[in-house]
Amino acid sequence: MKTKEVLILPGDGIGPEVCHEAKKVLEHINDTKDLGITISESAVGGCAFEEFGNPLPEKTLKLAQRSDAILLGAVGGPSWDNLDYDLRPERALLGLRSELDLFANLRPAILSKYLSDSSSLKPEKVLDLDMLIVRELTGGIYFGEPRGRSDTNESAFNTMVYSKNEIERIGRVAFEAAQKRNKKLCSVDKANVLEVSVLWREVISDLADEYPDVHLSHMLVDNAAMQLVREPKQFDVIVTGNLFGDILSDIAAMLTGSIGMLPSASLNSKNQGLYEPVHGSAPDIAGKGLANPIAAILSVAMMLKYSFSLNEASSDIEIAIQEVLSEGYITHDLEGNNNKKLSTSEMGNKIIEKLI
């Protein structure tokens, strides 16, 4: 059996805490099911800058390129806010996406029936919520050239660029995801204003002919943001560009009660993936045992499914988490019984108990 190489990049803030719990779960299921996974770790983000003067050291990048899958905690924090743009911790994340060509970001927004009271919306609006946002990750305004500031420093500029090929490949990922779900795909753009979005809509519409079993609709991004908080269950799969996907997926995350519950996967054409919780580094609670590790642990479940096709092991983790939640155990970011609120490490241990 070929060894599966996993690289863990804990990063900054609460990243090391949640990654520690995710690593415990991964090691446990790897041992009990003999999955053949080897694990290594390396520095990334602000902590890497402090040690190496670079948020994405060459050693880390080489390990990432060699790995089959990567688990990342979080990067960034106020300690590095005044660094030059190219040295900021977030540049490490953009660098990994670019160097590994991780063009497809999958962000599920699923509300556990045991946490309906934690959502910011009325329970009936979000009960059984299960949607997937497919975000293009290596193009658009975050990577477009030229970018910079004027010579007088009185203005700044970024360029939004998408090619037909970039839109087609993310479109195919979204259509194929919709085929495996409820066969509904909503493409989100700003075609009433942006030429880039006009091309986006044309390419996605042309692709629809290849997927006749999927119902395609289009929606402007401002309306999509409104509809996500008005009637979120109308959506099944959403596909959109880099900037719009960044914003909409955070809105969708909060519908589930806590951003600490949601994992994500960023994949390339070889299914090499970067898996991470959608939350940030939360430096205000770092080291206090308050962080929710469930998103990081669910990121491991996504890793087993998408990069290694280990669907049974992935499902085992998801079921274990639901069993813990069904018994009323929660972390401090969730609404519920204070007597059943667990620390970061206690939640990790409780999930492992259900895997035994």
The residues assigned a catalytic role are 142, 190, 222, 246, 250
Q: At 180, is the secondary structure helix, strand, or coil? A: coil
Of 300, 275, 298, the C-alpha closest to 30 is 300
End-to-end CA distance of the chain: 24
Name the strand (E) or helix (H) holding 247.
helix 242-255
| 8 Å CB contact between 45 and 283 | no
Q: At 217, is the secondary structure helix, strand, or coil? A: strand
Residue type, 117: D
Treating both helix axes as pointing N-terminal to C-terminal, what angle do 195-207 and 164-179 enclose, rounded to 10 degrees? 50
Give the whole-angstrom CA distance, residue 40 versus residue 30.
14
Give the whole-angstrom CA distance, residue 341 versus residue 354.
17
Structure tokens at 320: 């274990």
Of 341, 321, 326, the C-alpha closest to 22 is 321
Name the strand (E) or helix (H) holding 350.
helix 344-355
